[in-house]
Amino acid sequence: MIRHPEKIKKYNPTVLKKPSWLKVKAPTSKTYFETLDIVKEHNLVTVCQEAACPNIGECWSKKHATFMILGDTCTRACAFCNVKTGKPSGPPDPLEPLNVAKSVHKLGLKHVVVTSVDRDDLKDGGAQHFIDTIKYIRELSPLTTIEILTPDFLRKNKNYIDIANVKPDVFNHNVETVPRLYKQIRPGSNYNESLKLLFEVKKYDPSIFTKSGIMVGLGEDLDEIKLVLKDIKKSKIDFITIGQYLQPSIHHEKVHKFYSPNEFSYLYDFCVSLGFKMISSSAMTRSSYHADEDFIKLKELA
């Protein structure tokens, strides 16, 4: 993994013993390998692979993959993320949006999640690439609902509104952690600006569902989590995800705590009291984990 040399930190390598509820089986299903073949055929990047997601076996066995556009190299160096960091080798692949759309069509997805690395080197932060991807998916798979998980587009003149203009069904951007830990965990980002992005998307087009998520176990306390959840709700965000942080390597921030199933249930109930439309709170929850099933259920209830 490539990281900015000046940003490499030697985190405390002390490793907490992983509890039993966090153990997953290695993927072995035929469908998993069929999904892998489709991803390779179109030379695509998935966050499932790049972020070493523990749910990849389950999701790919159901032909659910989260596509990562704008290449595989991020211009930020967040302390929690396994995606490689550095200077991207060149402009985005112009064929990538169409190739994503072709894969979505081949997989027969009813709901797709498209995310990306941060591209601070691009004038628009990669917004046009999101727009092109959405348009191609709509052209090839008009019945597929589209969820995007975007960077913060900080100092990019609100290019996220251009994406909102092509009406993704769900606009997701994660705040990731509590404000106190931003400098340590999410350098280069701004807590208030992340909330503002989603608030302005909802204000621009109330029909777009907005979504955000946090990881726990990075050194925050329960009161801080609850304050973040209240801030997210005040920002008119519809969906919330809460998952356990897992340390990708000793070069990343250590796990300060493994939250118990009861604690995740408590946070779920707290989110219910705040009135979120969709809530996922569990150790294995990730931004796109069961996103398709959750969205389909929501539409059925509407």
Res 21 pLDDT > 70: no
Report how many domains make up the chain: 1
Phi, psi for 78 (deg, rounded to 5): -70, 145
Q: State the CATH number of the domain containing residue 260.
A: 3.20.20.70
Pick the more confident residue, 102 or 1.
102
∠ CA 226-228-234, nearest 5°, is 105
- Say what the alpha-carbon torsion angle 55, 274, 270, 175 is, to the nearest 10 degrees: 50
Res 2 pLDDT > 50: no
pLDDT averaged over every residue in the chain: 84
pLDDT at residue 152 in the model: 95
Q: Is residue 3 part of a domain?
A: no
Least confident of 13-27, 237-251, 257-271: 13-27
Q: Is residue 225 part of a domain?
A: yes
Q: Which domain holds residue 224?
A: 29-301
Average pLDDT for 33-52: 57
Amino acid in position 111:
H
pTM: predicted TM-score of the whole model, two decimal places: 0.84
Q: What is the 3-state secondary structure (H, E, C) of 136-175?
A: HHHHHCCCCEEEEECCCCCCCCCCHHHHHCCCCCEEECCC
Q: Is residue 73 part of a domain?
A: yes
Q: Is residue 145 part of a domain?
A: yes
Pick the more confident residue, 27 or 288.
288
pLDDT at residue 185 in the model: 94
